[in-house]
Structure 1
């Protein structure tokens, strides 16, 4: 099962994927402009994955077998190899395999099935978690497939955003990435203890700096990294502190601020719903309407009539 000369795969290069997979992914985040994490959604027939090293850390989320009209879906029998250790198992929906960068791995699956791969560079992990641990170079621990509900749900949420053209904003993608990095640090690294801190939120000055910046840039597709940089905190730790201070995740807070401002603009009666949506950074009118109804209880059109 192990090749004499294992391949070196760069997941940032499309051509490299065809060195180990029989077909290109069904879709990927290559053109979505995501910061730090790359998603690919695969569907492949039975296949022997060539032994390889990846330049990026890699997470494989095993989705399901492909259903055929003549054959109900079943769980594939799989032989995994990580660093010359072998295991034969039956993948369950939502099982997760973690393969760190530069770790030898291979796999054989017995039936056509679908899966998600999340890949990211080592510096992405370091940037997200630099103040969550005292260890300068945290080492990932490889893991054969096992259930991990949190990674599974994050993977599906990222896939859903990609399928809907990422209308949820870059900040939402960043928040999911930050949660993923913290979880990996806690459960799949050589340093599984986070730094103990007594801080129970941002200071008043920090919170004011951050909220002022958000209100001044509501129309922009803000990133978690640029907001966290205002108070010089890593994105993952910033997300935790911000939620402790406001009760909302950063992306939830930005949506709330946009909807509050939308109500003010609609009350003035000088703006169309479409203009309000585009002015406040929503992709289109229906994007505004979805969040408006969720938070206000009525659609923007009904809100206008009530005024």
Structure 2
């Protein structure tokens, strides 16, 4: 494991900066988060981090962290019992890092994660500190991942007053999900809602996120959920705030942002690979979503990398 980062404290020196989770991660990675949302004063802090190949030693953090692996290479390992794990995290996995535990990370490619730091005091108040008392690496949490991705999609969309309320509601849902208890390893949480379970709804959402280029017709999605198309539309919009078609489009445009930043695919090839009817259709949709043309977005991303 890489050598542990040390911070010497001089008792005679002036008061030092308080090292919260974000400050510690910034120090280790050598960069600020790409995006930050939330207030430590309220007991929460949500950040997006993008880092590249290397090994990183994270000192003990004061508060537990819920981590969602958003994108990047599926070859992220952690240091455990004297070696790197055989298991590795892939996009769509979640990890819990408890307070007070040093951790090591091996990134073979690009890492793109969202961290939600949870105040230890909040957990004590909620009597839920036990589930955050040990390391849980790369487990399945469809709801937590879907909520996190939806929050990101909204944060990168053009500003709108009504979107702020929606993002706030989605963050609240993610907080509630974590405090209610994330699912045990390999056992996705199922919460029955009327005539079909949330798990089936999340299965549809994850299928869209995994393969946004597929057609994902309303009839096909409703059949997967086991309900009629009209009922599926009502339940889906109630759960996500948007229609199934809008969710598919968001998933395609999120993937387009990643491909524009990380590949040299032509716009024609990219639009075809993501299921758009034409390059012009893709360009119009992308500009409405991201506030700039695909070419401008690619140029901006390549400039900051």
Task: Name the TM-score, length of structure 2 as normaliser.
Answer: 0.48
The structure number with the bigger radius of gyration is 1
Normalized per residue, the structure richer in helix is 2
Q: Which has the higher contact order (CA 8 A, sep 6+)?
A: 1
Task: Name the TM-score, length of structure 1 as normaliser.
Answer: 0.47
